[in-house]
Amino acid sequence: MFFRVLQIAVPFIWFGLVVGISFVEAPLKFQSPSVTIPIGLEIGRLVFFALNKIEIILAILMLITFVKAKPKNKIAAAAFRTVVALLLLETVWLLPFLDARAALIINGETPPQSNLHLVYIVFDAIKLILLVVLGTILIKQNLKTEV
């Protein structure tokens, strides 16, 4: 029972964190007149690396729930695998690149033009859609199991 509840909760907790950080906090901090670009980037680096570590923990928790209470729906497993793949790409490729780019700006340099920030936004948007799909499937599956 515990793993079924966790299996339902984790995707929605994860969803809320990504929405709150990536789509609310990140753009809003730059609207404050006292937050300069370098200060905003320094805050962003801290916040996004913390979010990434929390996402890794949530992915591990989700994996444990999949081992303990296997989803019967193949779409749920595919959605979770895709979310993990996107998280892995963000962790090993996008975040280090964006961090290096932010460090250049913080140090007063002008980095070359890049669209990888948009890639990060697209990855997070895809993760959000998949987390809702995953959570919805798992609610339906686990409610049927309990009845």
| Confidence (pLDDT) at 146 | 55
Give, as one character, the DSSP assignment of residue 32.
Answer: S
For the residues 86-113, what does the mean pLDDT come to? 97
For the residues 9-15, what does the mean pLDDT come to? 98
User: How many distinct structural domains can be found in the chain?
Assistant: 1
Domain region containing 52: 2-146
The pTM assigned to this predicted structure is: 0.93
| Confidence (pLDDT) at 124 | 98
* Confidence check: pLDDT of 142 > 60: yes
Q: What is the pLDDT of residues 32-73, one digit of tens each?
A: 999 999 999 999 999 999 999 999 999 999 999 999 988 989
The residues, any chain, with a CB within 8 Å of residue 111's CB and separated by 6 or more, are: 101, 104, 105
For residue 68, the SS3 value is helix
